[in-house]
């Protein structure tokens, strides 16, 4: 450093690192803390990553209330979802008060600039989980989220195929989808919408979309809520219920190789692999290509077409579908019970005989049939 003679004192991994960004000074505590053991990525690596992709990350999560997903002891330690903003925070960190379906409230962080992203990274917040609303209007979402969740055993090419069906379906209803890897096994398609509809209306439109995708590709896609009925790729309409969030673009996921949720152009979907996009590789991609979702805010569309489809579904006898278990029972919602349990209740099992050998059990059945009615 200027003004010092001889060698600069050796820093330890526990000494804070001062980062100056957007006119703010943020002391990154314990910058050498390893968050990803295999590649040995540290907290400071996470800070530098979010600085590099800040423009894109803020396009996905900025101006929105965010749930914080924190890994204070790295991805091999315990993690937690933090809805309420930490009480100890700089005065320039913005918050907004949300009211949840349970009736409770919480102040959540609203990142506005790169300094806020650095502050979040310093909390070992890997994932950004924004609500689909802007901080200035918490009642009207400006996003519909198509969450493509493959059931166990389904491979990535099938997720790609369903994403293409979703793209075509959205286009037919006058909407533009913006694909991204989830950073895990699935894919998200983000749809900007006009801020005219309530959460329930957006979810209703998402359910109609999911059913239409299933109708067009019944062998590879499903809109069924109960896991025992699913196959292929589940189009999770319930991610549009109030208080639900998904990892936003550029979020770092807790995988051994530090994968990130990568925005894609539709032309990249056929060749992109989730493992291509990591904390190490994304900065170069961002510097070369910029944010693949840079034009997303110019494509706000109307839900009128999907809501008309929903009305047709209802007229044909296809009403609401199950909500997540922690939500109150909704008007018009079908019984919230697994289909197999409902069948068991309708047709109870009667035990006729119990035996170690099949022939003894069959003999017992024969005796039962021959016995006089009760």
pLDDT of the residue at 8: 41
The Cα 247–Cα 148 span in angstroms is: 13
On whether both 147 and 34 belong to a single domain, the answer is no
* Confidence label for 14 from pLDDT (cuts 50, 70 and 90): confident
Q: Span 210-233, mean pLDDT?
A: 96
- Residue 4 banded pLDDT, cuts 50, 70, 90: very low
Would you say residue 214 lies in a domain? yes
DSSP assignment of 58-125? HHHHTTS-EEEEE-TT-TTS--EEE-SPPSS--TTSEEEEEE-TTS-EEEEEE--SHHHHHHHHHTTE
Number of domains in the chain: 2
User: Would you call 67 exposed, middle or buried from its count of C-beta atoms within 10 A (0-12, 13-18, 19+)?
Assistant: buried
Question: Residues 89, 153: one domain?
Answer: no
341 within some domain: no
Q: What's the confidence (pLDDT) of residue 140?
A: 98
Share of the chain above pLDDT 70, in %: 89
Same domain, 151 and 186: yes
The lowest-confidence range among 91-105, 152-166, 196-210 is 91-105
Is the pLDDT assigned to residue 262 strictly greater than 90? Answer: yes
Q: What is the mean pLDDT of the chain?
A: 91
Return the percentage of the chain with pLDDT > 90, whole number: 80
* Bridge partners, residue 222, by sequence: 234
Residue of 184, 143, 146 whose CA lies nearest to 162: 146
pLDDT of 219 > 60? The answer is yes
Q: Are residues 229 and 172 in the same domain?
A: yes
Whether residue 11 is predicted with pLDDT greater than 60 in this model: the reply is no
Say yes or no: 85 and 205 in one domain.
no
Both tokens of 193, joined, read 């919408």
Q: How much is the pLDDT for 9? A: 44
Domain-located, residue 204:
yes
Per-residue tokens: 146: 């198509």
Q: What is the pLDDT of residue 340?
A: 67
| Closest to 223 measured CA to CA, from 246, 205, 207, 239 | 207
Quick one: which of 135, 212, 142 has its CA closest to 172?
212
Q: Residue 366 — very low, low, confident or very high, per pLDDT cuts 50/70/90?
A: confident
Report helix, strand or coil for 371.
coil
C-alpha of 162 from chain center: 17
Ordered DSSP codes for 272-337? --GGG-BTTTHHHHHHHH--TTTTGGG--B--HHHHHHHHHHHHTT----PPPTTSPPPTTPPP-S
pLDDT beyond 90 at 227: yes
Residue 346: the pLDDT is 52
Residue span of the structural domain in which 310 resides? 139-244+293-318
pLDDT in tens, 289-345: 999 999 999 999 999 999 999 999 999 999 999 988 778 777 777 777 666 665 555
pLDDT band at 360; cut points 50, 70, 90: confident
State whether 70 and 176 are in the same domain: no
pLDDT of residue 352: 57
Question: Would you say residue 195 lies in a domain?
Answer: yes
Mean pLDDT of 25-38: 97
Given a cut of 80, whether residue 243 has pLDDT beyond it is: yes
pTM summary value: 0.86
Quick one: 146 and 42 in the same domain? no
H or E element in which residue 204 lies: helix 199-216
Domain identity same for 93 and 143:
no
- Say yes or no: 73 and 123 in one domain: yes
Q: Distance between CA 288 and CA 12 in Å, rounded?
A: 34
Query: Is the pLDDT reported for residue 359 higher than 90?
Result: no
How is residue 17 written in tokens?
């690192």
Is pLDDT at 126 greater than 90 in this prediction?
yes
Judgement on whether residues 23 and 126 belong to the same structural domain of the protein: yes
Q: Is 50 exceeded by the pLDDT of residue 1?
A: no
Which residues does residue 350 pair with via DSSP β-bridges, in sequence order? none
pLDDT at 102 over 80: no
């Amino acid at each position: 450093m200027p003004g010092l003679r001889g060698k600069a004192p050796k820093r330890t991994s526990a000494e804070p690192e001062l980062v100056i960004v957007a006119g703010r000074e943020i002391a990154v505590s314990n910058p050498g803390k390893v968050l990803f053991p295999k590649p040995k990525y540290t907290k400071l690596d996470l800070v530098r990553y979010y600085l590099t992709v800040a423009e894109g990350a803020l396009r996905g999560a900025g101006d929105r209330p965010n749930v914080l997903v924190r890994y204070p002891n790295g991805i091999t330690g315990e993690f937690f979802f933090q809805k309420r903003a930490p009480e100890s925070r700089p005065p320039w960190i913005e918050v907004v008060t949300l009211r949840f379906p349970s009736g409770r409230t919480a102040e959540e962080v609203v990142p506005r600039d790169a300094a806020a992203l650095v502050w979040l990274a310093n909390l070992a917040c890997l994932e950004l989980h924004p609500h689909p609303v802007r901080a200035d209007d918490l009642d009207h979402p400006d996003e519909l989220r198509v969450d493509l969740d493959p059931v166990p055993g389904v491979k990535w090419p099938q997720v790609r195929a369903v994403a293409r069906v979703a793209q075509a379906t959205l286009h037919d209803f006058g909407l533009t989808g913006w694909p991204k890897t989830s950073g895990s096994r699935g894919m998200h398609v983000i749809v900007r919408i006009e801020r005219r509809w309530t959460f329930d209306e957006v979810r209703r439109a998402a359910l109609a979309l999911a059913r239409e995708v299933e109708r067009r590709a019944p062998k590879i896609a499903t809109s069924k809520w109960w896991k025992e009925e699913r196959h292929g790729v589940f189009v999770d309409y319930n991610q549009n219920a109030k208080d639900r969030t998904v990892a936003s673009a550029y979020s770092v996921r807790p995988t051994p190789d530090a994968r990130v949720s990568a925005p894609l152009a539709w032309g990249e979907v056929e060749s992109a692999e989730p493992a291509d996009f990591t904390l190490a590789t994304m900065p170069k991609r961002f510097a070369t290509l910029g944010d693949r979702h840079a034009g997303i805010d110019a494509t706000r569309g109307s839900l009128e077409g999907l809501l008309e489809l929903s009305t047709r579904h209802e007229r044909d006898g296809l009403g609401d579908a199950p909500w997540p278990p922690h939500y109150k029972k909704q008007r018009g919602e079908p019984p919230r019970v697994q289909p197999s349990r409902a069948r068991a209740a309708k047709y109870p099992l009667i035990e006729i005989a119990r035996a170690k050998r099949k022939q003894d059990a069959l003999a017992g059945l024969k005796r039962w049939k021959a016995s006089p009615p009760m």
